[in-house]
Amino acid sequence: MKIQHLALNPEVRAALEDRRPVVALESTIIAHGMPFPQNVETALLVEKTVRQTGAVPATCAILNGKLKAGLNTAEIELIGKTGTTVPKASRRDLPYLISQGKNGATTVASTMLIAHLAGIRIFATGGIGGVHRGAATTMDISADLQELAQTPVAVVSAGAKSILDLGLTLEYLETFGVPVIGYQTNDFPAFYARKSGFGVDYRLNSAVEVANLLKVKWAMGLRGGAVVANPIPEAHQLDFEAMQRVIEQALLEAEQRQTRGKALTPFLLAKIEALTGGKSLEANVALVVNNAKLAGEIAVALSAIG
């Protein structure tokens, strides 16, 4: 079925028509998460990693007013080179960007939406958004959480970004019936660190087990997606307590500068990179590649069981 405003890359279209496994990927990490050229290099490495599992990568974005599922190298380079001048696009931004024929870098929420429209069930990212610290007064809660509550796409991530209030993020997911699956772990990862002090709902130890859970969930007609929490590889993790101190310093500077809304996360990530001497960026690349591998394996397993 043709979806208005949706454009599928030919390779992605062929894979979906043949019922072969496809993994959605976001583009905010390219435009706002890393500097050029490392952003493009990482995006291409992530796509290569998905291919090595036997799945087809579908990096998503808005280009010239079209929802794109699957970008070619030139399109990835365009987003990487234009960087932060490409607006972050969440669900609320799509009608404006499409009607104006503009470009946009997709967040977790909008990538999930594009994936769902295209018929893609598995999505790999770095970390999901969530409830920001101080949200009791600011009401700053990521649209990613509502998307997870209503859109049937599973998101493989290294937990939630550690700049967030992880406890409240998990409470929010529980309230809206979103299962949080720990992949080979009982602990909810904290992006840069393998443990946050919080637990997951269920531990599953193989991609096949995760695929079976997802198949049952969606066969039952249950709304929404799932979070597959995949800890950063041990060799690349950063010290949790040290990172908390860095994050507190970055948050304080953001408050002093009155940096809020869409600008907050990119500011914090850049500040954290500077404060860690680039170690956070290295960790970010490692965890994204690790998530892409697992997402590909889950997509292959889900395709095999039908």
pLDDT value of residue 207? 98
What distance lies between CA 267 and its chain's CA centroid?
18
Sign of the CA dihedral with 14 first, then 15, 16, and 18 last: positive
Report yes or no on 56 lying in a domain: yes
pLDDT value of residue 255? 81
Provide mean pLDDT across the span 64-70: 98
Provide mean pLDDT across the span 149-154: 98
pLDDT value of residue 177? 97
pLDDT value of residue 2? 66
Residue 61, classed as helix, strand or coil, is strand
pLDDT value of residue 110? 98
Provide mean pLDDT across the span 6-22: 97
Mean pLDDT over the full length of the chain: 93
Judged against a pLDDT cut of 60, whether residue 1 lies above it is answered with no
**pTM over cut 0.85:** yes
Interaxial angle between packed helices 38-52 and 279-305, expressed in degrees from 0 to 180 and rounded to the nearest 10: 30
- How far apart are alpha carbons 50 and 57 in whole angstroms? 6
Provide mean pLDDT across the span 75-104: 97
Residue 20, classed as helix, strand or coil, is coil
pLDDT band at 291 (very low <50, low <70, confident <90, very high): very high
Report yes or no on 201 lying in a domain: yes
Cβ–Cβ under 8 Å, residues 87 and 128: no
The CATH number for 249's domain is: 3.40.1790.10
pLDDT band at 231 (very low <50, low <70, confident <90, very high): very high
pLDDT band at 73 (very low <50, low <70, confident <90, very high): very high
pLDDT value of residue 279? 87
Lowest mean pLDDT among 35-39, 43-47, 265-269: 265-269
**Whole-number Cα distances in Å, 173 to 189, 198, 212:** 15, 13, 21
Provide mean pLDDT across the span 87-111: 97
Judged against a pLDDT cut of 90, whether residue 163 lies above it is answered with no
Report yes or no on 1 lying in a domain: no
Report yes or no on 49 lying in a domain: yes
Catalytic residue among 161, 217, 271, 293: 161
Provide mean pLDDT across the span 249-277: 79
The domain tally of the chain equals: 1
Domain span at residue 27 reads 6-305
Catalytic residue among 26, 47, 273, 297: 26
Question: 125-163 burial, b if ≥16 CB within 10 A, otherwise e?
Answer: bbbbbbbbeebeeeebbbbbbbbbbebbbbbbbbbbbbb
pLDDT single digits (tens) 170-187: 999 999 999 999 999 999
Report yes or no on 137 lying in a domain: yes
pLDDT band at 54 (very low <50, low <70, confident <90, very high): very high
Provide mean pLDDT across the span 5-9: 97
Q: Name the token pair of 126.
A: 């770095």
pLDDT band at 147 (very low <50, low <70, confident <90, very high): very high
Question: 134: alpha, beta or left, given left = phi > 0 and alpha = psi -120 to 50?
Answer: left
Q: Name the token pair of 121.
A: 């069930």
pLDDT value of residue 272? 82
Active site residue 26: yes
Judged against a pLDDT cut of 90, whether residue 30 lies above it is answered with yes
Active site residue 88: no
Judged against a pLDDT cut of 80, whether residue 266 lies above it is answered with no
pLDDT value of residue 135? 79
Q: Which residue has the higher pLDDT, 96 or 135?
A: 96
Q: Residues with Cβ < 8 Å from 47, sequence gap 6 or more?
A: 25, 57, 59, 292
- How far apart are alpha carbons 297 and 95 in whole angstroms? 33
Q: Residues with Cβ < 8 Å from 274, sequence gap 6 or more?
A: none
